[in-house]
Amino acid sequence: MENMEKGTHKIMMPLKEASELTGLSYSCIRKLCLSNEIRFIRSGSKYYVNTASLMQYCERGCTA
């Protein structure tokens, strides 16, 4: 999360990268997308999460 604090973040990121950044599992982040807990887009079979939305979710306290 250091890169996020320095302002060098991406607007969207794939689930694998989001998982590595937050420490949440890939499947947990996918479930957050499917339950509309965080904003995302889907391109074919790939999911990309909105970084700001993911960080807001984590700041509220990751409860998934």
So what's the pLDDT on residue 10? 81
Round to whole Å and give the CA distance between 63 and 14: 21
Q: Is 18 exposed, middle or buried (0-12, 13-18, 19+ CB in 10 A)?
A: buried
Tell me which DSSP letter residue 41 carries.
E
So what's the pLDDT on residue 61? 77
Are 17 and 54 within 8 A, CB to CB?
Answer: no
Q: Which tens digit of pLDDT belongs to each residue from 43-58?
A: 999 999 999 999 999 9
SS3 46: strand
The whole model's pTM is what?
0.76
* pLDDT band per the 50, 70, 90 thresholds, residue 64: low
Q: Which tens digit of pLDDT belongs to each residue from 1-55?
A: 444 455 556 899 999 999 999 999 999 999 999 999 999 999 999 999 999 999 9
